[in-house]
Structure 1
Amino acid sequence: MTYDAVIIGSGPNGLSAGCYLARRGLHVLILEAHAEPGGGTRTAELTLPGFAHDVCSAVHPFGYLSPYFQELRLERYGLKWVFPRASVAHPLDGERAVILGKSVEETAAGLGVDERAYCRLMQPLAEHVDWLMEDALGPLGVPDHPLFLARFGVRAALPATLFSKLAFRGERARALFAGCTAHSVLPFDKFFTTALGLTFLASGHAVDWPVAGGGSEAIAGALGQCFTEAGGELRVNAPIRRFDQLPSARAYLFDTNPHQLATIARAELPAGYRRRLEKFVYGPGVFKIDYALDGPIPWADPRCLEASTVHVGGSFAEIAAAEKQTWRGRHAEQPYVLLAQQTAFDATRAPAGKHTCWAYCHVPNGSAVDQREVIERQIERFAPGFRDRILARSSMNAPAFEQYNPNYVGGAVTGGAADITQLFTRPVARVDPYSTPNPKIFICSASSPPGGGVHGMNGFHAARSVMSRLGAGPQRQR
């Protein structure tokens, strides 16, 4: 059998690329090494029967806002978005938590001396989040909204440490900004870290960060159904280690990390290009814990239960210090903890009256150090009595994440460090970053633009590159 395209890997980007190509009449095969598709969007009973835990990604503002997911209308394939009452809660010592909600004014009202400054900063971004998503979730090029993106870029290029001092006077706004910026998994003195912080803040004013009803596996399920209904073929338990294992095709798309691409297609790619792939930097990893709880998290400020995501880490200075230590290869004593509480809004994931909690901190790449104690200590700091609610826990260190999904090299779940050296040129600098020197081989993973996240835009753009390269219509042969 000869295919128009073969995709290696069925994460959200591989599935998105498959949907794009199959819906245009191409004969497409997706090969997945795991027993089920989904990559970073799988759900499992990791602790106790009846408790559904998201194995990797948990909360999906960019999935909901993704221009391509909106085009696919994944709700037609069973995906149900469940919305909290707020996107983010950021607890602080001895005072009320900061809450990021859809209303810019209501969010600003909780920021004290920075109320007006926050409104001036965020209102234009909130009004044009769709423009921001269209221009930010793609490769470097001529933007669709150049004036808007230029105004955004003047601030976005700054290191977060500098921007926070220029933009805000008080600690509450700086803390909220820090929690959003830390999603970048970069030290705050790096250029363009402000871009990530502002983008996450803006997304919270566009939509209350949703979870997928029943678990993140629902996203993969919807994409998979869209793909197969369009005529695509999906095979699981099909690991690929050598290029000669692949069936004949006009194009091959790798939803893999750059090292895997260099290894599998070794004989198909020039040595110089392979060496550039092998130099790709992945950045810090994560240590994650899933909890089964006998009740909701007992936050000192009960309003924290309104948010799907809680940024646990305290002040801007504390979070910045923790991220800097991790980048330098050390474990932070008081790490930034990213926490999701899906069952506060999606009761289908746990038995009646019970809850789940998903939490991770950043660690040096490849670290096998158990971070359970420091994570729980940070949560207890803002939710006294949290440990008393724990029925069971399941943890994954950085090597376990890589074993679970080889794309997460050293536990790096973002597809690679997004610092200035790799933000626009991932995995290597090329006019078309999805192509390779071999005209039949492409990369569509989170290691290509625009980077990590469950939004499918890497796969969408890579598939467009494939269509441009193929030129002629599909060739179906059996």
Structure 2
Amino acid sequence: MNRTDAAVVGTGPNGLAAAVTLARAGLRVELYEAARDIGGGLRGKALFDADVVHDVCAAVHPMAAASRFFREFDLSARGVDLLHPEISYAHPLDRAPAALAFRDLDATCEHLGPDGARWRAAMEPLLRRSTGVVDLILSGQRGIPGDLLAPFVLAPRVLAHGSPFAPALFRTERARALLTGVAAHAVGRLPSLAAGAVALLLGHLAHGTGWPIPRGGSSRIAQVMADDITAHGGVIHTGRRITDLRELGHAATVLLDTSPKTFLQIAGDRLPDRYKRRLARFRYGPGAAKADFLVSGPIPWTDPDVGRAGTVHLGGTQREMFRQESLTAKGIATDEPFVLVVDPMTADPGRGLPGKRPVWAYAHVPHGDTRDPVGLVRARIERYAPGFTDTVLAQRGITAAGYEAYNPNYVGGDIGSGAMTLTQSILRPVPQIDPYPTPLPGVYLCSASTPPGPSVHGMSGYLAALSVLRREYGVRIAPSLAPNEPLSADR
């Protein structure tokens, strides 16, 4: 077998980002994907109609518009249109107008009335230093930040909005619910410092680079990354599950876009006992249970403005979300889970057909939950959109436990590949100065189980690849990721 410089296991966004970076540096790269299709969380599928594609996991991509990797990779120059709804996200409330986060900060502050000035005070300083804030959070958390003022802008806001005193920061339920719904993206106990960081990161981006939906679906992002890899000599093997590291003996280095659980399985008895014990202590978070619908028309929200939003959070009041998400984190199942809903056609009308439109939804449920989420999700939507069930033409549910069968990285349905506690957000998967290398020579982890954690940002793969280049090849200058960059003369 021909010698390979780097073998990458898994073609989720981080595996693809690692392979892009290494191939751009002139290495011979091969990728191995157990599924028939590449992409991991970026995959799409025609579930009910051959001409209507549903996003199987991720659907909305604030990080693909903001992260360092994708800023340099430049999706738009590669033909990926990131489409922005007028309202980034909405949060319906019972017997009251919905809370709305417009792309325009001024419009949001006006909408929030008495809390407009407080919302501006939270978001505007972050927007002024947005690149520095994003790069701080989406880093390995080990070095000096590029923007030295970013931590001083971010930290006091995280301490305030991630603490038990958070309810006192806004006067109205509308503003409290609007930010808490974003904090719930951390999929864990509320309030918490980790959730506060998530709320402020995603919250300010809603008024900046936005929460876009890729035209044609998330798989477009995976495809242009794969195209760049093959254009630079990389080879992608699909339908090839790696069950033992010895299968990759022809590779000088190995990068694993896998969970610690999968790494333990494929490394076998080669890992030192101490490291195995540390990996075995890695904590996974609550699960996500997915419901997909094909519907005959727009969701009939009681407040029509909700239909202008790309993302909708269904969680009720701040108090209800604090209680619900904390119960879920404790493993206690309820009939009123927090639900995220996306109607992609609000931004991308070409995603459906006349009388046929995809609707995407997640419910946060206890780790490993085995309940079919369809009924739970429909009930939550019906609370704010009576008559939704009458529009449903077809439906499908994936339990939290079933998500792990679809993607082994989603242990127990944990789509974040590890609980987002403050400590584990930084020290994942184990505490060490460089979080990507393992005790096995030439073997690295590059999944969302490493910093900076979940979301489609590519940074875990990118930073792991830079670690490989530095440690294995003595290369300290990151390769260019720009489109149409010529190959180096010494490739």
| TM-score when normalising by structure 2 | 0.93
Listed as ranges, the matches of 1:454-469 within 5 Å are 454-469=456-471
Q: Does 1:260 align with 2:266?
A: no
Q: Does 1:22 align with 2:18?
A: no
Q: Does 1:73 align with 2:74?
A: yes
Q: Which residue does 1:93 correspond to in 2?
A: 94
**Residues 1:386 and 1:171: Cα distance change in structure 2 (over 3 Å):** same
8 Å CA contact 2:368–2:413 kept in 1: the answer is yes
Q: Which moved more, 1:234-243 or 1:247-256?
A: 247-256
Listed as ranges, the matches of 1:164-243 within 5 Å are 164-243=166-245
**Residues 1:369 and 1:304: Cα distance change in structure 2 (over 3 Å):** same
Q: Which moved more, 1:461-470 or 1:104-113?
A: 104-113
Q: Which residue does 1:476 correspond to in 2?
A: none
Q: Helix, strand or coil for the counterpart of 2:63?
A: helix
Q: Which residue does 2:333 correspond to in 1?
A: 331
What amino acid does structure 2 have at the position aligned with 1:415? S
What amino acid does structure 1 have at the position aligned with 2:83? V
What amino acid does structure 2 have at the position aligned with 1:383? A
State the shift of 1:399 in Å.
Answer: 1.8
Q: Which moved more, 1:420-429 or 1:260-269?
A: 260-269
Q: Which moved more, 1:302-311 or 1:146-155?
A: 146-155
State the shift of 1:158 in Å.
Answer: 5.1
Q: Helix, strand or coil for the counterpart of 2:49?
A: coil
8 Å CA contact 2:162–2:195 kept in 1: the answer is yes
Q: Which residue does 2:275 correspond to in 1?
A: 273
Q: Helix, strand or coil for the counterpart of 1:52?
A: strand
Listed as ranges, the matches of 1:245-256 within 5 Å are 245-256=247-258
What amino acid does structure 2 have at the position aligned with 1:413? I
Identity over the aligned pairs, expressed in percent?
Answer: 39
Q: Helix, strand or coil for the counterpart of 2:48?
A: coil
Question: 2: distance between equivalents of 1:180 and 1:463?
Answer: 30
Q: Which moved more, 1:102-111 or 1:75-84?
A: 75-84
Listed as ranges, the matches of 1:381-420 within 5 Å are 381-420=383-422
Listed as ranges, the matches of 1:279-294 within 5 Å are 279-294=281-296
State the shift of 1:150 in Å.
Answer: 2.5
8 Å CA contact 1:214–1:348 kept in 2: the answer is yes
Q: Which residue does 1:120 correspond to in 2?
A: 121
Q: Helix, strand or coil for the counterpart of 1:192?
A: helix
Q: Which moved more, 1:448-457 or 1:185-194?
A: 185-194
| TM-score when normalising by structure 1 | 0.96
Deviations 1:5-36 (A, max 9, x none): 11111100000000001011011111111111
Q: Across the two proteins, how many residue pairs are aligned to each other?
A: 474
8 Å CA contact 1:8–1:255 kept in 2: the answer is yes
What amino acid does structure 1 have at the position aligned with 2:48? T
Deviations 1:340-385 (A, max 9, x none): 1102221222212431111111111111012322221111111111
Q: Which moved more, 1:136-145 or 1:35-44?
A: 136-145
State the shift of 1:264 in Å.
Answer: 1.1
**Residues 1:472 and 1:431: Cα distance change in structure 2 (over 3 Å):** closer
Question: 2: distance between equivalents of 1:161 and 1:390?
Answer: 40
Q: Does 1:436 align with 2:438?
A: yes
Question: 1: distance between equivalents of 2:163 and 2:25?
Answer: 46
Q: Which moved more, 1:175-184 or 1:271-280?
A: 271-280
Question: 1: distance between equivalents of 2:210 and 2:358?
Answer: 19
Q: Which residue does 1:426 correspond to in 2?
A: 428
Residue among 302, 315, 331 paired with 2:304: 302
Question: 1: distance between equivalents of 2:372 and 2:398?
Answer: 9
Q: Which residue does 1:321 correspond to in 2?
A: 323
Q: Which residue does 1:109 correspond to in 2?
A: 110
Q: Helix, strand or coil for the counterpart of 2:444?
A: strand
State the shift of 1:67 in Å.
Answer: 1.4
Q: Helix, strand or coil for the counterpart of 2:421?
A: coil
8 Å CA contact 1:5–1:29 kept in 2: the answer is yes
State the shift of 1:301 in Å.
Answer: 1.1
Structure 2 stretches of 5 or more lacking a match? 476-491
Question: 1: distance between equivalents of 2:125 and 2:225?
Answer: 33
8 Å CA contact 1:344–1:355 kept in 2: the answer is no
Deviations 1:411-447 (A, max 9, x none): 1101111102311000000100011122311100010
State the shift of 1:159 in Å.
Answer: 6.4
Q: Which residue does 1:362 correspond to in 2?
A: 364
